[in-house]
Amino acid sequence: MLTPVEPPPGRAAPTTMPEPTGHRPPWWRGIGGHVVLAVAGLASAFPVYWMYATSVKPSEDVLDRRLVPASVTLDNYAHVLASLPFGSMLVGTFLMAAAVAAGTVLTSVLAAYALARWDFPAKRLIMLLIVCTWLVPVQATMLPNYVLISQLGLLETLTAVVLPQLVTAVAVLLLFQHVSAFPRELFDAATMDGRSPFGTLVSVLLPNIRPAIAAVTILAFIGAWNEYFWPTMVLRRSDDLIQVGIRSFLTSEGNDWGALMAASGLACLPVFALYFALQRQVVDAFVRSGLR
């Protein structure tokens, strides 16, 4: 039997805030943390810089270890655009990532809403199982997923790429925290107004957790866009997704590193644009949820 979650006990009245004393900490306090963050940021950004730096090197300098290319050329980009149907690959990859993001938001919203709104038998066990799935490496589930997809006859289809990625524990836990922190009084008011649980979800809850939904959407989209191993397992054709197309530059005769980096750089541009357009929603949702 489902019973609504009882509202949390009232909090004590806030104490009076101490008056500022006007004392400011010295400027050098905390500089060590900023140095560590700067080093971590540079270490994270360096592979991206090296990818684009390699992509503009001539073929004879592609293994050159100098930080700044001695000469710059766009021949690798021209070779990629001439060798691959990059436009159709972008469209196919975008549709795949959008389907994964939409499915992830749908399943995680429904799961988080049910787990946070009602008490029912085995609720804690279900939460524990969800957390346990987060701890299982993806590589450990790939073989069972491949066998299941093969038995369903979905190999060589985009459905095979999308289906195993529709539910993620991170998305469920992220939205569960937001729904749990939502004021219970608004749920009670919606019930008194005669709204159904689904109507309360659509008209009351979803408009108030849009930053969290935006964060889940972006993270799911980027995760699906960057996924390489699973699409190359279930797809053999090279003109469906960018991930599969990039593989064509890795051959037994030798690897075309310049073209590989150029194709990877082109594939990253839509993700960079999406993140820079919606980064405020992502940062806001992570700060509120405490998942950092």
Q: Looking at the predicted structure, is the pLDDT value of residue 149 above 80?
A: yes
pLDDT at residue 13 in the model: 46
pLDDT category of residue 11 using cuts at 50, 70 and 90: very low
**Residue-averaged pLDDT of the chain:** 83
Q: Please indicate whether residue 99 or residue 280 has the higher confidence score (pLDDT).
A: 99
For residue 177, the surrounding DSSP H or E stretch is helix 169-180
Judge whether 138 and 226 are in contact, CB under 8 Å. no
pLDDT at 23: 64
Cα 18 to its chain centre, rounded Å, is 41
pLDDT at residue 238 greater than cutoff 80 = no
On the question of pLDDT at 110 being above 70, the answer is yes
Give the ranges where 118-194 is alpha helix by DSSP (H): 123-135, 138-151, 158-162, 169-180, 184-192
pLDDT above 60: residue 22: no
Lowest-confidence segment of 96-100, 110-114, 125-129, 225-229 by average pLDDT: 225-229
| 178 touches 213 (CB < 8 A) | no
- Fill in the amino acid letter for 119: D
CB count in 10 Å sphere of residue 267: 21
Helix axes 169-180, 123-135, angle to 10 degrees: 140
User: Which pTM does this prediction carry?
Assistant: 0.77
